[in-house]
Every structure is written in C-alpha cells, then in structure tokens.
Amino acid sequence: MLTTDFKKRRETLNDMIAKGIAIIPSAELVTKSNDTEFPFRQNSNFKYLTGYPEHDAILVLTTYPEKKQILFVRERDPFMEMWTGRIIGPERALEMTEVDETYPINEFEKRIGDYLVGHESLYMDMFDNTDLFMNVRKVCQGLFKKKRTKETAPPLNFFHLNPFIEKMRLIKDQTEVQFMKLAMEATNKAHRAAMAFAAPGKTEKQVEALMQYIFNKDRSEGNAYDNIVAGGDNANILHYIENNQELNDGDLLLIDAGSELNLYATDITRTFPINGTFTGMQKEVYSIVLEAQKASLAKSKIGSSLKTIHEQSCRVLAQGLIDLKVLDQTLEQALETQSFREFYPHGTGHWLGLDVHDQNPYQTDEFEETKFEQGVIFTVEPGLYFPKSNAKIPSELRGIGVRIEDNILITDKGYENLSSMIPKEIKDVELACKEDYRDFIL
C-alpha cells in the first residue's frame, strides 16, 4: 500500500505562511452541455494537500490563534447519492484526511469570518477561482468596516498562494515516484501493443482504443491527457487529437500517450513504421532525433536545467537539418538565427507529476532558471517535423514527423529513465512491431 503523508505536507505549507491563513478550494464540476458534466478531475494543488477526491470542498489552514487544518466538504445526502454517487461526508473526511476539523461545505460562509480574523495575510489562488476570492474578500471587507482589535481585524495583505505549493510539488517524494512507475507499466504495455497492432488499413482510432483499453484495465486510471495517435503527415500537427484517419503503408505512426495513476501522469512519445520497417530516410530522421535525445539525457543531472537539455537537443537537431540539406547554413548560423525552429518549434522538456505539464516553477524567485535537484521529474522530447505541404524541403522528407519522449527522474547518481523499458532503438522498435498485440491485452 502506498500511503501519502498529506498531513505533513499541510504542516510544511502552514509553516511557510507565517501569520497567514490559506484557503485552497477543490476543483468544481464543469458543464459539458446542457445538464451533463465532464468527468470530474480534482484540482492538483488540493489533491496534493488532502488526497480528497470530491468537488465542493475547501481546505483552510490557519496560524492564529493556533495552527489548524480545517476541511469543508459536501454533506451526505441519500437522495443525491442515489442519483449521482456516494458522498464521503464530514465524518469520514475527518478520518481520511487527518485534518483537525471538518464541516459541511454550506457552513463555509458562516464560519470563514471567525477563521480570518487575527491573521495578517490571506493566501489564496489570486488568478483563478475568482468567485471564491471575491466572497472571501467581501467577508474581509465586512470585518474591516467594523470597529477592530488585533483579534478581530481581517487580513489586509493578499498573497498568491500557488507558488508555495508548486515549489513543494517540484520535488517528488518516494510515493509519488512509485505512482508514476506503476502508471508507466501500463504506458509501456500500451505503446508495445500499439507497435504490434498497427498495420496498413487499421485506423488511428483503433490504435487509440487499444491503448485506452490497456490504460483502463491495468491498474492505471485512464489517460493522463488526450492521446495523440498521428499517422504520416498528421505527426506534423503537434496537438493532433482527432485520431480519425486510416494508417498507410510506408508511413510512420507517432503516438504521444500516457496513462495516469492516482492522478500522477506519464507522458511518452514513440514513433514507429506502420508496416514494421523504417525506410532509409525515416531511419535518418529518427536517428537524428534519437541522438538529440541522448545528448539531452547526458546532461540530465543535479545542477543542470531544462534550458541546458533543450540547448543540447537543439544543437544536434540543427546539425541534423544541415546534414539532411534542409538548412544551408553552418551550425553556428543555424543556432544564431534559430532557423531550425521551423522544424522543431517546441521545447525539449517540461515538469511532470500530478499535471502532465506539472505546475512547478520554471524560474527561481530571483528569476533564474530552476536547477535540477534530486527528485525532480521531467520529459525529454526532441522531434523533427517535415509537413507534406513544405515545398522548400527535399521531397523524400515531406510527410515525416518524429518525436521521441521519455520521462526522467533526477537521482543522486545522475538520472533514472522511468520509461527505459519502452522500445526506442531502431532495431528494438522494429522487433516490437513484430510482436502479437494480444499478448498485451490479457
């Protein structure tokens, strides 16, 4: 059993907001259309601090007159539970989360004034959840208009809370790493199954459905983001999620898909030949991207940064574009003018965790690049994209799009590639294409 010490996390945050009160709401249900809603997705910061899975919940951390953790949650309601599912309720929420007090969510407005007074500062998300902030501000305003004492005055300093939590989330603890490793097992199987299954005449949608099935059946809880299953030229649309075309003989298939477990994301891209064998030109492009990725991985260690690994990939990709006669420049010119960006328009890595683009700081408080520390997790995903419509490039290249993406944990010894078991070398990918996909769905 993997258990997370949510109480400890709240205590850590509570220590950071000296003389302050923090208010952290859950996510809310979002309307899909008319009276139907999107599947509920918990707010990652709220999840990180409570583990509580429901909407209509608010966490309050006080420091005056004492440090206290209070959670407001939905009340149990047999009628509602019959229609829309079980509700945990304040009583069980107290046991589950180990906060100091729980109350029904409809008591929030009545009680929040009592918690606010005596605090110098209010810490909330200042940019989202505007309604809640406006309500709390109104309560503060009411308290401010009254005759005040030190004990009855509301906070007058308002701070943006998110960076404090996101700094904590940057360094993953052992439990978080384990969740991501478990999610990676399903991601590995799904990518292998896709390599084995894909063939001319099959469709992108079929491949997506197969992977989705494995994500759902294999302990993981589904996909961490909209899967990209892009055959041939579709790979050159970076966020292609229609996944509704037929797969063609001689094309590559680019798949960017990862499962999630307990809301922890994996984010993996592989590109492989639909008929199982790379053409000469596909091999050349693939080898450049793979070399770029390896150059970035070589710099993945404590003290390095996402900027550094990006520069490593850019250098190899730019040289590759020169070798492919796409760019008619020296390497220094290509890097100077950034001409390679036409064929590599995205970054090489992003933080990964509870969010697929994890909300961790990319800069320090001093506006410097965040340096890698033990426990950070990020992606390394160089690519090259040659749209069919680009008449300026050699014709053999047109319609080829390649990206290779792994998930990397920084350790005391260097790095651990969490996705190293998913085939990536050309010979391993071609072998994986020859497997029987049914071996992965049992």
Give catalytic residues, as residue numbers: 35, 239, 256, 267, 346, 350, 357, 381, 385, 403, 405
**Residue linked to tokens 């009583």:** 91
CA atoms of 111 and 131, how far apart (whole Å)? 17
Nearer to Mn ion, 10 or 424 (CB): 424
We find the least distance from the C-beta atom of residue 16 to Mn ion, in angstroms, to be: 29
Min. distance of Cβ 162 from Mn ion in angstroms?
21
**Radius of gyration of the chain from Cα atoms?**
25
Stretch that binds Mn ion, among 31-39, 138-146, 264-272, 299-307 (CB under 5 A): 264-272
* From candidates 313, 348, 379, 407, binder to Mn ion by CB under 5 A: 379
CB of residue 381 to Mn ion, shortest distance in Å: 5
Q: Which is nearer to Mn ion, 396 or 416 (CB)?
A: 416
- Taking CB under 5 A as the binding criterion, the range among 167-175, 266-274, 281-289, 429-437 that sits at the site for Mn ion is 266-274
CB of residue 350 to Mn ion, shortest distance in Å: 6
Q: What does the buried/exposed string (b/e) look like for 375-407 if buried means 16 or more CB atoms within 10 Å of the residue's CB?
A: bbbbbbbbbbbbbeebeebeeebbbbbbbbbbb
Query: Is the omega angle on the peptide bond into residue 154 within 30 degrees of 0, that is, cis?
Result: no
Binding of Mn ion by 348 (CB under 5 A): no
Comparing CB distances to Mn ion, the nearer of 267 and 355 is 267
Size of the site for Mn ion (CB under 5 A): 2
Between 273 and 383, CB nearer to Mn ion: 383
User: Contacts with Mn ion in 221-260 (CB under 5 A)?
Assistant: none
Closest approach of Mn ion to the CB of residue 380, in Å:
9
| Among 267, 355, 358, 406, interactor with Mn ion by CB under 5 A | 267
55 with 41: CB under 8 angstroms?
A: no
Strands 252-256, 121-124: pairing kind? unpaired
Cα angle vertex 40, ends 35, 43, to 5°? 130
> Of residues 94-133, which lie at the interface with Mn ion (CB under 5 A)?
none
DSSP reduced 3-state for 339: helix
Chain residues 402-421 in contact with Mn ion, contact rule CB under 5 A: none
Residue whose CB is less far from Mn ion, 26 or 379: 379
Q: Which residue stretch of 149-157, 163-171, 187-195, 372-380 sits at the interface with Mn ion (rule: CB under 5 A)?
A: 372-380
Q: Which 275-304 residues touch Mn ion, going by CB under 5 A?
A: none
In single-letter form, the type of residue at position 288 comes to I
Whose CA is closest to 136, among 161, 117, 109?
109
Amino acid (one-letter) located at 389: S
Least separation in angstroms between CB 403 and Mn ion: 9
Return the DSSP state at 370.
P
What letter does residue 417 receive in the DSSP assignment?
E
- Whole-number Å distance between alpha carbons of 219 and 186: 8
For residues 251 and 398, what is the distance between their CA atoms, to the nearest angstrom? 11
- Tell me which DSSP letter residue 70 carries: E
Nearer of residues 99 and 297 to Mn ion, judged by Cβ: 297
Point out which residues bind Mn ion (CB under 5 A): 267, 379
